[in-house]
Amino acid sequence: MTRNDDPDFWMRARRHLIRYGGTFAPVIIERAEGSFVYDADGRKILDFTSGQMSAILGHGHPEIAAVVAQHVGQLDHLFSGMLTRPVVDLATELARLAPGALERVLLLTTGAEANEAALRMAKLATGGWEVVSFAQSWHGMTAGAASATYSAGRKGYGPAPTGSFAIPAPNAYRPVFEKDGVPDWRTELDYAFALIDRQSTGNLAAFLAELILSSGGIIDLPPGYLAALKDKCVARGMLLILDEAQTGIGRTGLMFACERDGVIPDVLTLSKTLGAGLPLAAVLTTPEIEDRCHERGFLFYTTHVSDPLPAAVGLKVLEIVARDGLVAQADERGAQLAARLRALQQRFACIGDLRGRGLLQGVEIVSDRATKSPAPELGDAITRRCLEFGLSMNIVQLPGMGGVFRIAPPLNATADEIDLGVDILERALEACL
């Protein structure tokens, strides 16, 4: 019998854990190293999502472990009104790397917390309270971030704050507007904001956007869209907040995904990738906005704001990414991954669409390419087969689209590991069809 079937473990899990979404994989993970996790039988499982899309240096990176060990024993947590060198040093380095004048930094723990702080700043700076985001968005589970999250989790929790609006994301594979057979995102965006203008009370504060909507099915904003969105915000006195929780720190082949479009947001939030799997998040904004918020009494005093241990980890992450050329490597490995996936698409008619950038790519599974009909049972079966064959895959099932595999290996994954992952996916497809 496999040790993963430990009846006592699963009995206690069922009895004592609050279920927080989805189902648990039927394995007990005992350790993790590099691009792999190891189950109770000692079996290697290739982690093709970097944990929760976060471990961009793989698991158990020795330099990260050394930083954690040092700061646990020397300088881990302080009164929030005290400052340390790691905090100021990380803020300085983020300000150096960030585009434009995003020079003021707030260090927090999670992406939801960073988005919460960003929304509070936007409301305070503009005097408005209305927030717009994409209908397939995911920005977090705290109150403000959850009110701007539309891909899941809205039913049963009562009304969202007044002024929570959504517009459709520009899905090129399933476009709402077309012109001469080509997706027409400009008309869609114009129409969406015409509806926002009709609903707004004149108190628009911010648009909160992911560059690639991950939980929304790896929907990549097309070139030109971000600039047009920024223009819509400027015309209405709104701030543009970009949530780069998953796209920041090199994953798309650029340090920040917004660099492709040459668009500088008013506020940028980072999380997941900044801590390489450890809880660290950041809010970056301009001196002008920060000064205005400070003058108006901005308050975001939390238990773990400006903690030195995660700040030291973030500094080491940025050092390793730069030293090892991992931004360029993500671009190179991403091209390899895309080529392998295109070859699979030629073989398997259930692969309806491929999309994404760098090492954040999506594979949409459908039952019929002509109709693009969803195939949720097939997607789930492929996921189970992948795990059986030694590959951890993550699929999101959303209304109106096929199940989408989110593929996000570590930035330092080897070429052989990329090939191994696609080889196992191919084997799982063969077994399910």
Q: Which residues are catalytic?
A: 138, 210, 243, 246, 272, 406
Q: Report residue 391 as tokens.
A: 């590959």
Beta bridge partners of 178: 183
Distances from the Cα of 74 to the Cαs of 82, 92, 169, 330, 368, in angstroms? 15, 22, 46, 34, 58
Q: What is the distance between the terminal CA atoms of the chain, rounded to a whole angstrom?
A: 29
* Tokens 């195939």 belong to residue: 375
Q: Which helix (H) or strand (E) holds 180?
A: none
d(CA 352, CA 314): 38
Q: Report residue 30 as tokens.
A: 């005992």
Non-local CB neighbours of 105 within 8 Å, separated by 6+ positions: 90, 91, 94, 95, 282, 283, 284
CB 362 within 8 A of CB 405: yes
Q: Which helix (H) or strand (E) holds 9?
A: helix 7-16
260: which DSSP letter? Answer: G
CB 241 within 8 A of CB 265: yes
Residue 32 neighbours by CB distance under 10 Å: 17
Q: Which helix (H) or strand (E) holds 225?
A: helix 225-236
Q: Which helix (H) or strand (E) holds 383?
A: helix 376-389
- Produce one character per residue of 197-217: b if its CB has 16 or more CB atoms within 10 Å, e if not: eeebeeebbbbbbbbbbbbbb
d(CA 433, CA 426): 11
Largest CA distance in the chain: 65
